[in-house]
């Protein structure tokens, strides 16, 4: 009778833990692109250095060929995204690639001051880039990233997923052309090489979902010793 009573207590515990998992587990948004569609929103490969988009706090080398007085080897993009240059004045740099900014500067100089000016712009010191990792990882937080930083790198920086993480529900949030976008990735597929490991960019937010099934068993494992459940099931 005692054994039956304890076994029944375990069954009640299992039902309660399952119900609790239903309340605490994350519900995926069915509208989020996933699989191949996710990589259409967030490409596996970030833009190449030639297509690097200048951002506030970047340091640029602006060279006007044959015009040392108009060149500046170290000009920082201000927080509003502008740089101040001789004869050109204030010009918007953030949001442009280095070739695009070179063309803009050359156009301004050629319109009033120089004949066919040759201008080159290079990013010599990119600003600090950060990514946020939250959800079911061991150490959620905001982390500094380098170029060519990937989703797996970001998860590793956060000390890997927890045991209750839902690896098929990893979401990257990104602002693209002023719009907040999101895409869902399967970390298991990426780890096994089935799917590409997408690069993460400055300002990305990565969220690792919670697995309700695993959480259920974590709850049981924590509570079962109180009812001697495992001892009971293994005893004669």
How many whole angstroms separate alpha carbon 54 and alpha carbon 17? 51
| Predicted confidence (pLDDT) per residue in 12-54, tens digit | 444 554 444 444 444 455 567 777 677 676 666 655 556 788 9
The CATH topology of domain 53-125 is wza like fold (3.30.1950)
3-state DSSP assignment of residue 33: coil
Select, from the ranges 16-25, 40-49, 65-74, 189-198, the one with the highest average predicted confidence (pLDDT): 65-74
Contact present, 80 and 56 (Cβ < 8 Å): yes
Enter the CATH code of domain 28-48+128-210.
3.10.560.10
DSSP letter string, 52-104: PBP-TT-EEEEEETT-GGG-EEEEE--TTSEEEETTTEEEE-TTSBHHHHHHH
Is 135's pLDDT higher than 80? Answer: yes
How many whole angstroms separate alpha carbon 128 and alpha carbon 125? 9
pTM over 0.75: no
Q: Domain locations in the chain?
A: 1-25+212-236, 28-48+128-210, 53-125
Q: What Å distances lie between residue 99 and 50, 123, 140, 199, CA to CA?
A: 8, 11, 37, 23
Q: What's the distance, CA 139 to chain centroid?
A: 15
């Amino acid at each position: 009778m005692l054994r039956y009573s304890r076994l029944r207590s375990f069954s009640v515990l299992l039902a309660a833990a399952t119900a609790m998992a239903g309340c605490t587990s994350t519900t995926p948004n069915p509208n989020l692109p996933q699989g191949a569609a996710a990589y259409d929103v967030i490409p596996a490969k970030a833009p190449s250095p030639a297509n690097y988009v200048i951002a506030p706090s970047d340091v640029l080398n602006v060279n006007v060929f044959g015009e040392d007085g108009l060149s500046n080897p170290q000009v920082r993009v201000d927080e509003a995204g502008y740089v101040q240059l001789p004869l050109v004045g204030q010009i918007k740099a953030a949001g442009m690639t280095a070739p695009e900014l070179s063309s803009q500067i050359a156009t301004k100089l050629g319109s009033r001051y120089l004949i066919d000016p040759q201008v080159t712009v290079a990013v010599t010191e990119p600003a600090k880039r950060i990514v946020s990792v939250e959800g079911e990882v061991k150490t959620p937080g905001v982390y500094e990233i380098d170029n060519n930083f990937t989703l797996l790198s970001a998860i590793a920086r956060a000390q890997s997923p927890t045991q209750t993480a839902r690896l098929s529900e990893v979401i990257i949030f990104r602002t693209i052309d002023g719009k907040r976008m999101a895409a869902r990735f399967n970390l298991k597929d990426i780890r096994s090489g089935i799917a590409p490991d997408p690069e993460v960019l400055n300002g990305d937010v990565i969220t690792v979902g919670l697995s309700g099934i695993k959480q259920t068993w974590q709850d049981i494992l924590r509570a079962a010793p109180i009812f001697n459940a495992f001892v009971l099931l293994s005893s004669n």
